Structure 1
C-alpha cells in the first residue's frame, strides 16, 4: 500500500488538471480524472495500465473488466472498447499510469529469458486481461515515475527502469498474453496480423478469405481465434473501426455525417445512420451535440 500512496502523490504532483498527460519519459502517460465519466469509446493500443486510485470499467463487446487501485490491465492487441471511470471524486480522483508497450524491446527481452512450455498453437484468450499488480511491478512503476522529479536523469535511467517494469510484466500472471503476441507463429500473433490488416484497410470492402490469407490462417480458424481475442467477428471489428473513425471525423474535422460515412467506406447514408445509432445510442447529429466539449483524451484512461 505504501507504493500506491506514493504513486498517488507522484501523479498528483505531475498532473495539474484532469486528462491524459504525456510525460518526458517516452511511452509513459499519467492519468487523472476527478469525477465519474460517461462511457467513452476508443481503440486500445498494446499497453499496460496500472490504477493507483479509483476504479475503472473497460467493456469489450459484452464483457466488463473492472479494475481499481492496485490492479493492472494489459491490452495485448488493438481493440475497440468502451472506457468509463466509475469511482472518482475531486478529493480522491481516479489516477493511473499508462505505459505503451515497446514491442521490439519486449521481443528482445523474450529472446533473453528462459523458454517456457507454451507453444504457438495454445489458445489465445481475449486480448484484455486484468490482474492484481505484484509488489515488484508496483515497485518498478514507482521507480520509473519518480524519474519525473529529476528530468536530467531520464535519458540515462528511464530505459533501465522501463526495462525492469517490462521484465516484471513478463514474469507476472499475464505474461503469457504478451509472450504469445511476440511469438511469430502464435495464434495471437496471427490474429494481430489480421487486426493490423483490417485497421489499415478499414475503409475498403474485404473478404474473409483475404484477411485469413494475410494472417496465414484458414477462414474457419480466423473466425474462431479472432472472436476469441476480440469478442467479435472480423466484419464487426471493421464496422466498429469505421463508425469510430467517422465519429472522430465529425467531431475533429467538422465533417457532415454523409461525408464522413463516405470516407470510411459506407455507400448508404441510411445504413451508416442506422449502424451509428446502434453503436452510439443516437443518430450522428444528436450524438455529436451530446459529446461535443467532452474530453476525448480520456479514451485511454
Structure 2
C-alpha cells in the first residue's frame, strides 16, 4: 500500500508540474509583451519582465492565478502573496496595492485573472445545493489558498481556448462555470458564497460599497449611510472593516486619491484641480493625504511616473 501511495503521489506531482509548464507556455504565447490583454470576455492576462513598484488600483471580484513569478496584494495592514502554487480570490471591488515581486526577462511574471459574476456564482451555488446567507457576514473579501490539481487543470483548459475563438464561444462559459464550482468546493467556498450574497444586493455591506464607489467625491456621512442600510454605526464599522480591511472613511480616501492620481496622469490635471474633482476642498489636506498613501507629493509622483512611462516606451 505504501509503494502504491508513493507512486500515486509521484504521478500527481508530475501531472501538476506538467499543468504548470503548459500554463506558462500558453500565457507566454498569448501575450509576448509587458502589459496586459483581455483576449476573452472576463479573462485578463499579464506579463512583466521586471519586478514592479507598487500599483494602486481597484480590483473587481475575480480569481487570480500566477503561472510564473510571484505577486503581493496589500489591503489595509494585511499582505497576500501568491505564486504558481497559490491563487488569490477577491469577492468585493477593493482599492488595493499590488506589486510584482519576482520577474525577469528570462522568466517573466505571467498570470491570469478571471472576473467572477455574482449571478453566475449564485446559479452554481443553487445547483450545488447551497443557499446564500441572508445575514450580514464578516468574511474578509480577499485571501490566498493552495492551488489544487482540479482548479489548476480547469485553468489550463481555459487557456487552451486562447487560440481557438470558435471553441471559446462554446466552452468558455462551461469552463468558467467549472472554475466557480471548484472554488466553491475549495478552501474559499465560504468566501465565494459571500460573493453571491453581495451580488444579490441583499448584503448591507455590498450596498455600502456600491454607494461609496458611486459617491466617493461627496462628503461621507457615516451615520446616514449606516441608517440607510439598516445598521447601527458601530455595527456598520465592524462589518465593513471585517469585509474590506478598511474603515468606510479609509475606503473612500483610497478611491479619491487613486482617481486623483489617474486624472493627473491621464488628463494632465494639476494637483489642485484633481483634488477638487475628487471631492477635496483643501489642497494642502489633499497633498498630505496623497503623500501618506503614495510616499511622495503629487507633482513629484507625476514626474516620476511620466519618466518611467517614457523610459518604458523607449
The TM-score with structure 2 as length reference comes to 0.88
1:54 aligns with 69
1:44 Cα deviation (Å)? 1.2
1:97 aligns with 112
Give the alignment of 1:100-115 within 5 angstroms: 100-115=115-130
14, 21, 30: which is aligned to 1:5?
Answer: 21
Matched residues in 1 for 2:199 and 2:284: separation? 41
2:171 aligns with 157
1:127 Cα deviation (Å)? 1.2
1:299 aligns with none
Q: Deviations over 1:175-198 (max 9, x none)?
A: 111102212699993212111100
Residue 220 (structure 1) aligned with residue 234 (structure 2): yes
1:179 aligns with 193
Give the alignment of 1:197-208 within 5 angstroms: 197-208=211-222
- Matched pairs, number: 293
1:14 aligns with 30
Q: Which has the larger radius of gyration?
A: 2
Q: Is the 8 A contact 2:118 2:199 kept in 1?
A: no
The TM-score with structure 1 as length reference comes to 0.92
1:293 Cα deviation (Å)? 5.3
CA spacing shift, 1:265–1:86, aligned 2, 3 Å: same
1:8 Cα deviation (Å)? 0.3
Range that drifts further, 175-184 or 254-263:
175-184
223, 228, 245: which is aligned to 2:259?
Answer: 245
1:36 Cα deviation (Å)? 0.6
Q: Which runs of 5+ in 2 are unaligned?
A: 1-16, 310-314
Q: Which runs of 5+ in 1 are unaligned?
A: 296-301
Give the alignment of 1:128-167 within 5 angstroms: 128-167=142-181
How large is the Cα RMSD of the aligned pairs?
Answer: 1.9
Higher relative contact order (CA 8 A, sep 6+): 1
